[in-house]
Every structure is written in structure tokens, then in C-alpha cells.
Structure 1
């Protein structure tokens, strides 16, 4: 069995300070491994924020898989959640998917214009929050009228999978050069797909950064929104170090009987290593309380 080395941590966990007189409706677990057999450096970064945007029981979850250096992934791990919070607070009624698209695009432009080097990163982000229908007057809102909504965005092949009623539901889209639609977009922009890579070099067609590829590799994310109900058990956010060797349903089956989020994340990292992944591995598991 491969031993998981958890001594190296590039994650940024933003937690609220002080004691909480309540129990969050979710728990977060993270595990990562540099995979030193194949990789000399760790370029993954993760971030999660409890009570995101200073709102009770909201959550922010992000995994960023860097390449050509870790400047882009570190910037996203340190700053993307603050950028999203600011934009959401400017207008809480605005569709969060629009905010995610705008923020990812800004991050892409900022990394390309302000950071040294040519690094880039794939990204998968989830925002969990409580909402009430617009049709309900605020003075008439009852607790059971609140909906728990999850908004997601991704570029590249970092993936978010929801386990619903024991079945995997992929909430992201793998932006790879082998994908027909992405291949057509890159070629229409003047690029070439060779050996399933953009201009023969980059396997992903969307990322944050990668200024060397200019308009061929873009930062516009795939976004989704879904209501989280009692049929939803947990969420897996992981880089391709997991998904290259583990199928969505296989991952859900492996941890569906593990109630502890940290242990679930560690289990998936071990699984990826045992199956021979050659990449850095980062796995974040968000377990939902069935009775929030």
C-alpha cells in the first residue's frame, strides 16, 4: 500500500475565528500528496471559507491545479474568494453564475498582466449559500422556505462531483484539447490541436493564466447551479490527479459510507496513488448535513 505523505500543505483554509454557537450544515475535509515518485514540486492549492461573505452557514470551496509554476494557483488560492465575496456583496440578488464568470475572467486577465512567468492553473470553485424565493416578502419568510443552493464554476479538468442518492452527478466540464467542442473553439481562434494538446503543448483549453497561449486558452468557466436537498450526501472537488485514474461513480462508492470528511478525502488520495496517478493529488470533500 502506498503511504500518503501529508506533511506538505499548500492549502489555505479560511475559518471564522472564535467559538461558534451553532453547527454548520456541512463539514470540509482535505487531503493532498505531492506524489514525489513522479513530481518534484507541489503546484496544487486549495482554499475553503466557512461562513463565506460573513453569512451564516454559507461556504466557499476551491481547488486550483497549477502548471508551469505555482504563481497562478497560489494567487487564486489567496485572492479569488475575496474577489467573489466583494462582487456578491455588491448585489446579492445577482445570479452567482454571472459573478463567477466575471471573477474568473478578471483573474485570468490579472494573472496574465501582473504575475511574472507563464504559469497557469485549472480551477474548480463551489459557493454554497441559503436563499429565499424572490416572490416571498421578507417579513413573511419562514425558516423552511430557505433553499440551500450550490453554484459551481470550472476551467480545465479540475472536477466537481456531487453524490446524489448514491449516484455521481458531474457539475463541471472537462476543458481538454481532446474535446470536440473545445477543439473547434481553439482552431477558430487560430490555434492548432496536435497530440491532443493546444499547439502541441497544453492539454487543457481553458485555465487562469497561461499568457503564452493568449486567446487560445481562455478563462471563461463552465457554470452550474443546483439546489442541495436531503438526497445529496457529499461533494468531491479534486484535480485530475484523482480523475485521471478514478471514475466519478467509483469515487462516490469508495467514500459513501465514510462520515468523516477528512477521512474520506484521505481515502480518495490513497486510492489515486495506489492506482498509479503520475500527478499531484488534491481532494476536497464537503459532507452535507441531511437535516440542516
Structure 2
């Protein structure tokens, strides 16, 4: 989400790449073997460049310890735990593309599996930053830990998620000297034992589920015009200028976000949280930043990939189509398949 020019970010090694007709991709790969007890984190594992208008692709792979025979250059991860508590196989794939909005990549993601308290957790998230990448980086490193450390997580996941979003935002604001004035949207998905899915979000990063070929949006797009009353009650205002989207105080195009110290009095970090029971009709879930959703609707996205069994190929298909539809923003996509 490009709302303002960002400050110097952390991607110093990429700044020498020419911006003319170049899209930078970040793809990550990994897998967890059956019964693996260690945490596997699939973050920042691969970087590549793709020249527009050609099929040339140059990959620079950072090798990871991949288990279960999965290749580190596949751009996908799989979880196939052989446990009596697991009823559905869970596999995922992801694809991230830096946009052409004149700023460094501000999208970050998490795709990992953890085994804890005799449960297997799939943790997936997309963080779409603005005014720099420090806040989404902080979220990538801390939000899931904060959720899982909530005392009520196993008894009341909804309350735990809400509490962790709130406390994480408070910590970000307390660290504003280090993290800067920027912020980030978030969409998080927690798969518990392949049976239950907990989805939460702030901002306009979205989760869409496919059941029987039909798309259902699991998240709420927190747009300024839909929360105008709350924003004005808190002393802010919403601008709607010709040719532009509604913005909080003429600046931010979402009504809820992490960070954004200068706008925090008028923003919320309260997530919408939803639980979904995974059953035989549940095919897959798409998590994506607004770089995708600006150029296609939910059913279009589902129809485009519902017959693609490889989740990484599905994620890449969606990001490639978003580019073809002239999306200029950073585009991040995770596809989680069930069954």
C-alpha cells in the first residue's frame, strides 16, 4: 500500500537494481517433515529479478534446511503431519512482487509451522507496510509470538488474538523512535491441527476462502468512509477528493492499522476475527495484500486458481495476473490448500 514516499528501508542490497522495467520478486520455500518438533520459518529465503516483457528469470537462492524432500527453489512449503490429531493435510505456497510505485518493498509475510502442546499450528500472515518497512518487519518478527503467548489462547483464541493485536500496536508506538512514523496493515491466519482456522485483520489486506468453488471473504476491508463516524468522533476527518480514495486526515487510505503514530488518535488497531471450521468442502484460502485486490474481485481470484493444485503455482498465477492488470503496488500472496 503506497500512501507516502518511504524512508530508507532495510533492503540496502537491492538498491543497485535498475527500476526501469524491472520487477523484483521475493519467493520463499520450505517444508516441515512429519512429526517435526522444531519451528521452521520460511522468511526471506529467496530473492530474484524478473525483467518485464521477457521470460528470463535470474534466481539468487539463500539455502534453507528443507525437510521432507522439498526443493528449496520450489517456492512452496508443505505440512503433512502424521498425527492422530491432524485430519486434513495443509500445504501452502507464496509469491511476492515489488511494485512500481517508487518505493522499496514494504510487504512482508510469514509462512511457518509449529508443534506445541501436542498441537500442530500453521501460521500465515501478510503485512503491507507504508512509510517504510520497519513496522511490517517488526510484525513479522513478533505478532505471532505475542498471540501464542497470550494466556487465553487455547481457551479463547478470539480474545487472545484481539489482545495481542492491541498490545503489539502499543509496543510499536512505544518504539516509534526506532521504528519510525510508518505503519502496516495485517492479515493473519492460524490453522490448528488442520481442523480450525482463525483469521484476523486490520486494514485492507484480505483473506478469501474457497468452498466448493465459491469465494467467501473472511476479512473486513477497513476503509475510511465506512468508519467515518468513529474517526470524526475521535477528532479526525475523512477526505474524498476527485480521482482519489477516501483518506484519514487526507493521508491514509485505511481506517485501521498498526503504527502510524501521527495518526493514531484517529486510527484503530482492533482486528476483526473470524473462526472457520475446516471440512471436506474447504478447498483453499488466499491471503493477499491490496496490490492484488485492487485489480480483481474475490470470485475472479478463486476461479483463476481453483484447478491449480500446486499452491505456489497458484500464488504466482495470481500475482502475475495482477501485474498484467497493471497493478503498480507491492503484491503479496499466500495460498493455503487443505485436504
Q: TM-score, normalised by structure 2?
A: 0.73
Match of 2:332 in 1: 282
Give the alignment partner of residue 29 of structure 1, picking from 93, 115, 119: 93
What does 1:142-153 align with in structure 2 at a 5 Å threshold? 148-153=195-200
| 2:147–2:153 CA contact under 8 A, matched in 1 | no
Relative to 1, partners in 2 of residues 1:184 and 1:91: Cα closer, same or farther, differing over 3 Å? closer
- Whole-angstrom distance in 2 between the partners of 1:129 and 1:222: 19
Match of 1:194 in 2: 239
Relative to 1, partners in 2 of residues 1:206 and 1:92: Cα closer, same or farther, differing over 3 Å? closer
C-alpha displacement at 1:12, in angstroms? 11
| 1:9–1:32 CA contact under 8 A, matched in 2 | yes
Relative to 1, partners in 2 of residues 1:92 and 1:155: Cα closer, same or farther, differing over 3 Å? closer
Relative to 1, partners in 2 of residues 1:10 and 1:259: Cα closer, same or farther, differing over 3 Å? closer
What does 1:197-236 align with in structure 2 at a 5 Å threshold? 197-236=247-286
Secondary structure of 2:195's counterpart equals strand
Match of 1:111 in 2: 172
- Whole-angstrom distance in 2 between the partners of 1:123 and 1:100: 12
RCO higher in structure (CA 8 A, sep ≥6): 1
Relative to 1, partners in 2 of residues 1:81 and 1:208: Cα closer, same or farther, differing over 3 Å? same
| 2:186–2:257 CA contact under 8 A, matched in 1 | yes
Relative to 1, partners in 2 of residues 1:205 and 1:218: Cα closer, same or farther, differing over 3 Å? same
Relative to 1, partners in 2 of residues 1:259 and 1:18: Cα closer, same or farther, differing over 3 Å? closer
Q: CA RMSD in A?
A: 2.4
Matched, 1:15 2:44: no
Describe the superposition over 1:53-77 as per-residue Cα deviations: whole angstroms up to 9, x where unpaired: 4654321111000001111100001
C-alpha displacement at 1:190, in angstroms? 1.2
Match of 1:239 in 2: 289
- Whole-angstrom distance in 1 between the partners of 2:218 and 2:132: 27
What does 1:113-192 align with in structure 2 at a 5 Å threshold? 113-115=174-176, 116=178, 117-130=180-193, 148-179=195-226, 182-192=227-237
Q: TM-score, normalised by structure 1?
A: 0.84
- Whole-angstrom distance in 2 between the partners of 1:257 and 1:94: 37
Which structure shows the bigger proportion of residues in helix conformation?
Answer: 1
Match of 2:114 in 1: 51
| 2:301–2:318 CA contact under 8 A, matched in 1 | yes
- Whole-angstrom distance in 1 between the partners of 2:24 and 2:68: 28
Unaligned stretches of 5+ in structure 2? 1-20, 32-38, 42-64, 70-78, 82-88, 241-245
| 1:10–1:45 CA contact under 8 A, matched in 2 | no
C-alpha displacement at 1:214, in angstroms? 2.2
Secondary structure of 1:41's counterpart equals coil
| 1:12–1:46 CA contact under 8 A, matched in 2 | no
- Whole-angstrom distance in 1 between the partners of 2:146 and 2:116: 11
| 2:237–2:248 CA contact under 8 A, matched in 1 | yes
Describe the superposition over 1:1-26 as per-residue Cα deviations: whole angstroms up to 9, x where unpaired: xx995644699996277856982411
Secondary structure of 2:149's counterpart equals helix
C-alpha displacement at 1:278, in angstroms? 1.7
- Whole-angstrom distance in 2 between the partners of 1:235 and 1:123: 16
Match of 1:86 in 2: 149
Matched, 1:97 2:158: yes
- Whole-angstrom distance in 1 between the partners of 2:173 and 2:269: 11
C-alpha displacement at 1:178, in angstroms? 2.4
Aligned residues between the structures: 266
Secondary structure of 2:332's counterpart equals strand
| 1:151–1:225 CA contact under 8 A, matched in 2 | yes
C-alpha displacement at 1:124, in angstroms? 0.3
